[in-house]
Amino acid sequence: MLRDEGYDAAVEREDESRLAVGNGFLGVRASLEMPTLASRPRTFVAGLFDVVNGAPGGPFLAPAPDWLRLALTVNGHEVALGDGAEHSRTLDLQSGLLRSMWEYRAPSGLLRLSSLRLASLSHRSTALQVVRVVPEGRVRFELAALLVPSTLTLLLEGVDGPLSYWRTAGSRRGLTIAMKTELFPDNAALVADEDGSRLARRWSWDAAPGEPAVFVRTMAFARESQGKDRTQCARATTMAVARGRDEILASHTAAWSGRWRASDVEIEGDDEAQRAVRYAVYQLVSAANPEDEHCSVGARGLTGDAYGGHVFWDTEIFLLPFYTFTCPEAARAMLMYRYHTLPAAREKAARLGYAGALYAWESADTGEEATPEFAQLPNGETVPILSGTIEQHISADIAYATWQYWEATGDESFLADAGAEILLETARFWASRAVLEADGQYHVRGVIGPDEYHEDVDDNAYTNVMAQWNLETGVVVARLMRSRWPERWAELTEKLGLTAVDPDLWSDVARRMYSGLDAQSGLYEQFSGFFELEPVDLSLYEPRSAPMDVLLGRDRTQRSQVIKQADVVMLMALLWDRFAPAVREANYRYYERRCGHGSSLSPAAHSLVAARLGDVALAEQYFRETAAIDLGDAMGNASGGVHIGALGGLWQAVVLGLAGLSVSGEGLSFDPHLPDSWASLSFAVRYHDGTVRVSAQNEAAVFSARLEQGSRPVAITVGGVTRVLQEGEAHQWRIRGRAMQTESAT
């Protein structure tokens, strides 16, 4: 449970983000049923993007109408928060329900209201609102249930009984909404008054002291897309609202129960850490829709307006591991979104003079570049945004996620039908992007790496080494396709215009790619010239609440070694086995003290790598910093929505970092390092067609794994010791520092 006591207009929008409910198709902020001036009611429908001509920022998610709006009068007095009301909201993470409680001291006496809302996880088009009102004295109630446009970007086209038809102003995307309302004073249904209002339902009734009335509103939303026209939307939404309240509640909570069985991370001994990781899991489950492969998860999920619902590299690098290991169907759908947007990625690469596929830095529904061209700094200065053209590592990031999904799931149809094409086309891009120079090495000049404080740099280590990996993996995929699926390989070579010499070129570019590694120190230079920049002692600016680029100014920041977020450190996190232990250690220590963490993605990456290095105290520190980003609004911008990438990173810090999970060869590997305050850590992961449940006991120094289900045996490696599990079999590894002993049981 996440409980918010009282009402504070100053933080209302942050609370609305934090307590949102969603299911990957619908996202509903925790706005009040009777909003104040501080409220920002929003219901987002995934994929419903609009474009306003002349407006900056490109396409953005168009908010659906506010369907939660109520107007209540008691003996002619309108109920509002200003009436000495006591108010609380409780987000039930386990069941995906938001409950609210009010006590209004109206002139007629005390009035108690309670409400419940959900966005159904079992029927994703459906949302439910239930409100119960109980008066202390004898009163006359008047209630209006309204459907109110949230912005001017969604226009009403018509109303037909319970159905309303809407269309975005610029992109002309259609949305059909069905609304069913019921009122039960004293358990008897009351028919709404007919007043001619097309988007409102109104009731009036007399209530005795203590006599409850229950209002129920069932909503269904359908987006016109993928061949679904208005008639089909109307039929689907009408059927959806016909479900009763009890059936909607039961199926929704059952679906959440199933997701928690697959996704829960249990921490004993540290309630704060437990709440943080469960909150992360809740938001991650709420953000993804495995039923729609034409949408993906934006940087704030469906919880706020920030970034307009755009999809960044966050999705593949910070979110995909959670879905791959707990709900691979969702991971597959998100990668299929990247497959469906390959044409736009090819067009972008060609427009910039390259081959293959260069994905948009910010992507909406079509995959076309959606990054704004300009931004305004806090001091009012307007600066160009270069990410849309030269922050190109995203193509390697998507390739990386594609291959990681394949390794963890063995999903052959995905690789053959979609994944291979992504991997091949991104490899082709890097082969055309890198330039062979006089030193006999390939260079990638004029880019932005993850550290966005430094723009238009040459040979960014993260970009170059990830591109190198992408090229090498492209060669592996070409060989795999040729040997395993020769007919599909023939189709691909014809479609893409690949020749027999292309993989040879990729191998050569990868082999001679400049990496920036200084062999003597073991350090990777973040980009050419970084070591010559001004060192800045970040400790001199602590404690601070402003980002370092604000404190130093844009120009000095670019001339300094201050880093916005994990860059070389992120590279170590993704390609861990590629680097020697001494290289990992040297680079982490060097760059960690230069990082200002100006991005919400940064602390989690530092936590993960610190855990793998065995620096548990530092890993725990960064874990708690990550948890505070949304739960404590540590960055001061949660009003725009939760930071879903940071929440995915929090899960990774625990599962991939502190538990040390990685995919190795034909199985899973673990290298646990738990904080002293954690008595135990346990969770389940999906691997191929099986489910493995693991647990690490701190004081007993025991790590256990059980193959709960799976048709094939799975090799589990802990501390370098491997055991093969059959279905129903468990093994235990006794941990003594770095030395391991093994025991087994069935």
Q: What are phi and psi for residue 206, nearest 5 degrees?
A: -100, 140
CA within 13 Å, CB half, 270: 21
pTM: 0.96
Quote the percentage of the chain above a pLDDT of 70.
97
Asked if residue 317 lies in contact with residue 55, where contact means CB atoms within 8 angstroms, the answer is no
Q: Residue 147: what pLDDT?
A: 95
185-194, 390-399, 595-604, 661-670 — which is least confidently predicted?
185-194
Question: At residue 524, does pLDDT exceed 80?
Answer: yes
- Give strand ranges (E) for 23-138: 26-28, 43-45, 49-50, 60-61, 70-74, 77-78, 86-92, 97-106, 109-119, 126-135
Examine the pLDDT at 371 and tell me if it is beyond 60: yes
Residue 741: pLDDT over 60: no
Q: CA nearest 178: which of 240, 231, 226, 223? A: 240
**Angstrom distance (rounded) from CA 408 to CA 327:** 12
What digits encode the pLDDT tens for the residues 673-707?
A: 999 999 999 999 999 999 999 999 998 899 999 99
Between CA 180 and CA 248 the distance in angstroms is 13
pLDDT mean over 230-254:
92
The reported pLDDT for the residue numbered 277 is: 98
**Is 345:367 a contact under the CB 8 Å cutoff?**
yes
- Cα separation of 204 and 213, whole Å? 11
**Tens of pLDDT, residues 293-325:** 999 999 999 999 999 999 999 999 999 999 999
353: three-class secondary structure by DSSP = coil
3-state secondary structure 141-186: EEEEEECECCCCCEEEEEEECCEEEEEECCCCCEEEEEEEEEEEEC
State the Cα torsion 229-418-44-224 to the nearest 10°: -10
**Which amino acid appears at position 698 of this protein?**
N
Digit-coded pLDDT (tens) for 494-521: 999 999 999 999 999 999 999 999 999 9
| Beta carbons within 8 Å of 191's beta carbon, 6+ residues apart | none
* Nearest alpha-carbon partner for 245 in 351, 98, 131, 389: 131
Please choose, from the candidates 584, 556, 582, 580, the residue with its C-alpha nearest in 3D space to the C-alpha of residue 568.
584
Closest among 645, 670, 717 to 280, alpha carbons compared: 645
Residue 23: per-residue pLDDT: 98
423 vs 242, 385, 402, 410, 480, CA distance in Å? Answer: 45, 28, 7, 16, 12
What's the whole-number mean pLDDT along residues 172-196?
A: 89
pLDDT tens digits, one per residue of 402-459: 999 999 999 999 999 999 999 999 999 999 999 999 999 999 999 999 999 999 999 9
Sign of CA pseudo-dihedral 352, 358, 359, 365: positive
Q: What residues have CB less than 8 Å from 593, skipping those under 6 apart?
A: 538
Mean pLDDT within 527-547: 94
Q: For 120, phi and psi rounded to 5 degrees?
A: -60, 130
pLDDT tens for 7-25 read 899 999 999 999 999 999 9
Q: Which of 452, 525, 620, 625 is catalytic?
A: 452
List Cβ neighbours of 667 (8 Å cut-off, separation of 6 or more).
Answer: 687, 714, 715, 716, 717, 722, 724
pLDDT digits (tens, 9 = 90+) for 383-407: 899 999 999 999 999 999 999 999 9
pLDDT at site 55:
65
Give the pLDDT band (50/70/90) at residue 83. Answer: low
Residue 226 predicted with pLDDT over 70: no
Per-residue pLDDT reduced to its tens digit, 125-163:
999 999 999 999 899 999 999 999 988 899 999 999 899
Please give the Cα distance from 35 to 87 (Å, whole number). 13
Q: What is the mean pLDDT of the chain?
A: 94
Q: What is the dihedral of CA 555, 371, 295, 41, to 10 degrees?
A: 80
Q: What is the pLDDT of residue 638?
A: 96
Whole-number Å distance between alpha carbons of 339 and 395: 12
Residue 26's pLDDT is: 98
pLDDT of residue 740: 33
Across the range 168-172, mean pLDDT stands at 92
The answer to whether residue 727 is catalytic is no
Name the 3-class secondary structure at 318.
Answer: helix
Can you name the CATH fold of 63-259? Beta-galactosidase; Chain A, domain 5 (2.70.98)
